Structure 1
Amino acid sequence: MAVNKLTPGMIDVDVPGWELEGEVRDCHETFSETPARDAEKAKRWANQLLGRRLVWRKVVERGFEHYEANAIGDPYDL
């Protein structure tokens, strides 16, 4: 079961960004205009907030995507 969730979306009126939920909860404006680079930088930001490097997996639910990272000790956590 994922503990941390990183979701792209609107963090304020007309402000695109990322929301981190789980062990730490925070928001940050978009990092890059390039979607792939934006996602990579968002994962780095989340790792920095969490104080360790986690393995983030892309998840698509009902047409919406987000990233999930497991808790320490989870068999899928590298």
Structure 2
Amino acid sequence: MPATVVEHPGLHGQFLIMDFATDPTVVHVEDRTTGLFLDDEDKVALYRLTAEKLADLALDEQASVRLLRSIASDLERE
């Protein structure tokens, strides 16, 4: 995520969308002490929309590589 994006839907917590070939999609939501599996279609759709918004806001591949190289370079200097 670019440093210029200070507020985004990913700040509400971690989640993983799991699509299966023969079974319905499930979303795993994780917090500090527990995890929750959601299979309600409306909730799955909300998390899929959130993932799409995050992908739209995220750095592209080349910018991500540049950022990671910059961080690695900074860490090597320490």
Q: Which has the higher strand share?
A: 1
Q: Which has the higher contact order (CA 8 A, sep 6+)?
A: 1
What TM-score do the two structures reach when normalised by structure 1? 0.32
Q: Which has the higher helix share?
A: 2
